[in-house]
Each structure stands twice: as structure tokens, then as C-alpha cells.
Chains A and B, each alone.
Chain A
């Protein structure tokens, strides 16, 4: 028995340091603000000349909304670039359709600025990608719960990198703050396609022995190290039973 306890302890102690902390998504509780609100149905001017409202655009395919401004020297460029790369890598369009709307939140931006931006990213002829501006940007960012602050010294907006998922009915289903990996992006695309994710782990939960992890790469729940601890007692029991039998047989023969 004592040997057994010792064995258990050793197994656990070796698992402990070997574990690296799971990489946590950067999101925090602010991502919950205004979830499931209907976004303001703003009239949009899109690069290429089309005038359409936000809800009309979402009707065909749900939207990934990226809020940027053209003179941004900070996070906007990496945000759009990463979005482009990640979406290409995930290749979800067949299974979970979406379109991408890159919308300027800077009232000074003109449609030409956005046209230039689209060209810079080489996205002008990409289907499902829209660049645009709107006259009612304040209503849009209010309904998203997005608060850029103008910094007079730097002549720049101080703002979060933000992606928002918009369903075909114009509702915001998920937000991602900061530059995020493809796994989180997949979860966002799932949410606008009405895939119900009944629960998730909070980013503050950094325990190393979790039972399950949600893997958005495949959309499945995968076993975590904690599951091993649940299965282990049964394995140890059977090893003990077999071990005992082998030991007593040796003694009797």
C-alpha cells in the first residue's frame, strides 16, 4: 500500500513540473460586453461603389467585422494582415460561410483611404472582403461597445484591436480583443454560424490539470491532463490485482 501511495506521488510529481502552462487566450471579461445586441444598422459606403446597410450585407453571409482606421501606425495593419492569413489557413468558407467587413471608425477617413488600404493588403479583388466607411460610425461603435480615444499628441487613436462576429440577423455573437490565434478566430466564425458552444473555460483559469480543452482548430473537445488523473486509479487497481496474483502464484509454486 505504501509503495502504491509512493508510486502515485511520484507519478504526480513527475507530471507536475513537466506541464507547461496552457497558452491562454488574451481575452478577458470585456469581451462579454454587448454580446447578442443587435448592431446599429448603419448605411455603408463600400469600396467599389456599392451602398448597402450593415444588416443587408449580413443577410447573405454573416460578417466578421474589423474596426480600423487608415492612418493607424499601431495595431490595425497587423490585425487585418493576421486576419487574412488566418482565414486563408483555416479555409472555412465551404463549411462555415462568412464575409469580412473592414470598417473605418475614423470620421475623417474617406472611401479613397479605404480603397488604398484594400490595395495595400492586396484584397481588392478578393471575394467576401469588403472595405468601407459609414456616416453613422458613432452609433456602430456604441452598439459594439468599442471605445477608441483620440490622442492629440500622437495624432493617433488609442484603441483595442477588435474583431466582432455579426450574425445574419445583425446580432453580435462574439468579440475578440487583441491579436488572436486562428483557434479563437475559428470560434468566432462558428458563433456567427449558430454553432452553440455550451460552455468555455475562463482565461483566468490557468490550472494545469484540466479535464478537457476546447480545440477550435477541429471544433472538438479534446482530453486534457486532468482526464489522466481520473483514469489512473482504475489502471492502478487492475495493475495491483494482476500484480498480486502474479506475486502469490510465484510464492506457491
Chain B
């Protein structure tokens, strides 16, 4: 039983890491093309961009899910079948997406903002293939999400799974909800909402596609749906990573396990609510959206970050301050990832302010902040888990080699790569430009600069994941 889960988790990790390296290389091609170091035609550039975005968002979401599923086995019995179905459908879905992109040249961006997928500038079949690929992924992930929810709800009642019995300050409830269970459940609820939204969006798109002009969608509605799905999914995958940290940070560090306190319960329940409205900050520059919603968007963007971020960061800082810890690559990744997440959060709060967004919207500032809490945040959370997991396949004792070098390469590469985005964004260089016009000449310099540092980051990643891949491959092909 146990080995079955180790195998499927190893498979997830192998798939994620290989796709990760490919997607980074696509990113490097884009940056070096923008810098004028290589030459891609715009269609190739925008195809790369579309696939880079979709692959990255997809793999780090499933990485979070796979980690949560593995750890959840400690508390409840999860469905191996659902895990396997999700894996197969993810692989099929990704292949379909890559087919639509690499062969069909579909290049509407990973957000496929309506009505761009219907202004066909690629193979005729690429648009429906793309839409069906989304459907395959959506169905696979929904099965997984619902199955994990069922597992949790079999053991915990509704109020227990959301840790409501912890709301009282001095509560000593009979059934304690581990923070891991609480955060996982809260993330799963958000994930399910995104996936249903994606289904609605896909349904509306397919209806228009097959109606031959008989049914036209409303651009404002479609944009709202797109970002409710896209933004919330990106948010929830970060929370999945945090669930893992709440479980593993203390364990890997050789410290007592964290418990759900009343403020942790409150903070995460608030997040459950506010995160649903944060996506509205993608609509600031659409003046057609009523002002009230715009202001709610700014407020929700602030409030969605305060409780969970505040509680989590402080928990980690408090756990580390003046305390002897068994530092190793796993908890260092968690620790550095949290610092990176905070930096990305600062960039995000600045941009989620309407009057700043008026100047920064869709400049490189936007990829700057979300790459910060992915490349130096969420990715590190998942890498920390992968690292820890790969030693579970052997004897559970973590042995580090060249850890300083690996960390330095990832951190220095990452900072340089991200700095290029921030500086160019503050200089009004547009995002998603295959080539920069002379007015954005500084973008060229920063692209080469960022690309160079991203190469260092990639080097660090390859060094870091080598051992993990070796251990995971070894386990998948072993006869246990």
C-alpha cells in the first residue's frame, strides 16, 4: 500500500521536474530573443510563451497536489485510483496542449483571453484541441480534488475539517485538526471553485466555437471568468505548498510538531473567503467593471494576503529564531522559499493598488512579482518536499552534498533573473513582447541580463534535482 503511493508520487516528481527544465528552457529562449541574442519569429516566440505559461502553472499545481496527497496518507486513506487517473489525464492533457502549441502553433497566451482563441492565426484544429486539452486536465484534476475531499470528510466533520472547534481561545477540543488538514481542505475548496469556473469558461468557448456565430460571448464576463480561474488557481497552488510546510518544516528541523491554534484557524478561514475576490485586481484597467468591485478587488487583495501570510511567516520566523535546527536542503528550501514569497508579495501588493496598476499593469512588473513567488517561493517549497521525499525512498536520513553551491546558484540566479523584470517593469517595458521597439530599448539589456542569470538558476536546479531524479527513477523501476 505504502509503496504504491511512493511510486505514483515518484512518477509525479519525475514528470514535474522534466517538464520544469523544458519550460525553463522555453523561458530562456524568450528572454534571449527579447535581448536580441537569438532570433525567433514572433509566432514561435508567442507559441513558446503560451506553452511556457501553461506548463509552469500546470506542473506546480500538480506538484502541490501530489505532495499533499502523499502526506495526507498519514491522516486518512486516500484513493490511489483517483491519483492515477489524475496522472494519466494530466499527461494526456499536456501532450494535447503541446500538440496544439508546438505542431498547431496555437499562441493565444496561457490566459487565452476571449476572443483571441477564435481569431484563428494557426492551424484550424489547434483551437478545439486546446479547448479539449483544458477539458481533459480539468476533469482529471476535479476527480482528484473531489476524491481527496471525500477522504478528509470521511474522518472529519465539516466543522472539524475547517478547524472551527479551535476558534475558542482556550479550546481543548476532543478532535484536533492538524494545520496540514485545515490548509489542505481550504486549498481544495478553492481549487474546486477554480476548476468549475474553468469548466464554465470552456463550455462557453466551445459553445461559441460550434455555434458558427449564433452564440456570441460577452468579453467582460469571459475576462472575469478567465481570471477567477487563472488567478485563484495560481493562489491555491501556493497554499498547497504551504500545507506541506506546516507539516514538514518542524519535522525536518527536528522540532516539535506545529498545532492548530485559534489564530491559525481564524487566519485560514478568512483566507478561504477573501481569496475568492482577489482576482478582481486583474480587471482594474477595465473601466467597464463597476467601481465598487474595483475597490473590493483592492481590499480583498490586501486582506487575502494579511492573515495567512502574517501567521505563516511569523510561525516560521518564531520557530527558527534563536533555536538550534538541523538545517538541510529541505528546510532551507522552505525557509528561503518563504523569504522569496514575502518579496513577491510586496511586489504584488504594490501592483494590486489601483493607482499603481494604472502605471504598472501589463508591464514586466507583473511577471516580476509572480515569478518571484513562483521561482523563489512555491518552486522551492515543492523542491524541498521532493528532496525530503526522495530520502524517504531509501532510509529517511537526509545526506547533503554541495548544498551551499546549489543554494547559491539558485538564489543568485533567481535574484538576478527577477531583478531584470522589476527594473524593466519600472521602466515601463511591456510584458509579452517578442521584440522591443526602440522606445523600450532598456528592455533588451534587461532581457539579456535576466536570461543570463536564469541560466545560472537553471544550472542550480539541474544540480539540485539530479539526486532526486536518480532516487525516484531507481524506486519506480525497483520491484518493491
List residues of chain A with CB under 8 Å of any chain B CB: 1, 4-5, 8-9, 12, 198-201, 205-212, 221, 226, 229-230, 232-234, 236-238, 240-242, 244-245, 248-249, 252
Contact = CB atoms under 8 A, between A and B. Distances in A.
20 contacts: A4-B142, A4-B196, A12-B200, A205-B218, A206-B216, A207-B221, A209-B217, A211-B289, A212-B220, A226-B218, A230-B197, A230-B221, A230-B225, A232-B200, A240-B149, A240-B192, A241-B192, A242-B158, A244-B149, A252-B154
B203 A233 contact: no
Contacts of B150: 244, 248
B203 A12 contact: yes
B193 A234 contact: yes
A211 B114 CA distance: 15
B218 A233 contact: no
Given A221-B290, A248-B154, A8 B203 contact: yes
A1 B217 contact: no
Contact of A212 (B192, B194, B290): B290
Contact of B200 (A200, A229, A240): A229
B206 to A, nearest CB: 11
Contacts of A206: 216
Main secondary structure of the interface of B (DSSP, over half): helix
B480 interface: no
A150 B199 CA distance: 58
A198 to B, nearest CB: 5
B189 to A, nearest CB: 6
Contacts of B217: 207, 209
B15 interface: no
B221 A209 contact: yes
A205 B153 CA distance: 45
A237 B192 contact: yes
B477 interface: no
A242 B291 CA distance: 34
Contact of A5 (B192, B193, B199, B288): B199
Among B143, B189, B216, B218, find the residue whose CB has the most chain A CB atoms closer than 10 A. B218
Interface of B: 139, 142-143, 146, 149-150, 153-154, 157-158, 189, 192-194, 196-197, 199-200, 203-204, 216-218, 220-221, 224-225, 228, 276, 287-291
B228 A245 contact: no
Contacts of B146: 1, 240, 244
Given A229-B225, A241-B153, 9 more contacts: A4-B142, A9-B203, A207-B217, A209-B221, A226-B221, A229-B204, A248-B150, A248-B153, A248-B154
A192 B405 CA distance: 69
Contacts of B196: 4, 8, 232-233, 236-237
A244 to B, nearest CB: 5
B276 A210 contact: no
A207 B218 CA distance: 5
A245 to B, nearest CB: 5
B236 to A, nearest CB: 12
Contacts of A238: 189
B224 A245 contact: no
Contacts of A249: 157
A210 B189 CA distance: 27
